[in-house]
Amino acid sequence: MALARATGLSTADVEAGIGYLAATGKVGYDVLAQEWFPRELPWDTSRVEADNPRLKAARRLVADGCVRRDPMHAILMNIT
């Protein structure tokens, strides 16, 4: 990924960042041009997590130590 190479960040970190920016309406993707573009949508971006129960649950699993990550994978450990 060109952005990862240009910034020295890992591809996983760049993809996670772009995913967050897309979810919060900060960027969009132009399929024809095959590139990301900046945008602002008229909503409160702090509501992204409040309106996304799966994201809240995933963050809770990470905070509780139930997820092990490496550069390529996130592995869900035992949940009790």
Does the CA dihedral 56-37-29-71 come out positive or negative? negative
Residue 56 has pLDDT above 90, yes or no: no
Note the pLDDT tens digit of each residue in 19-52: 888 888 889 999 999 999 998 777 776 777 778 8
| pTM as predicted | 0.53
Rounded Cα–Cα distance for residues 51 and 28 (Å): 19
For 57-80, write each residue's pLDDT tens digit.
Answer: 888 888 988 888 877 777 888 776
Structure confidence at residue 31 (pLDDT): 96
Judge contact between 58 and 76, C-beta under 8 A. Answer: no
Residue 10 in tokens: 């890992």
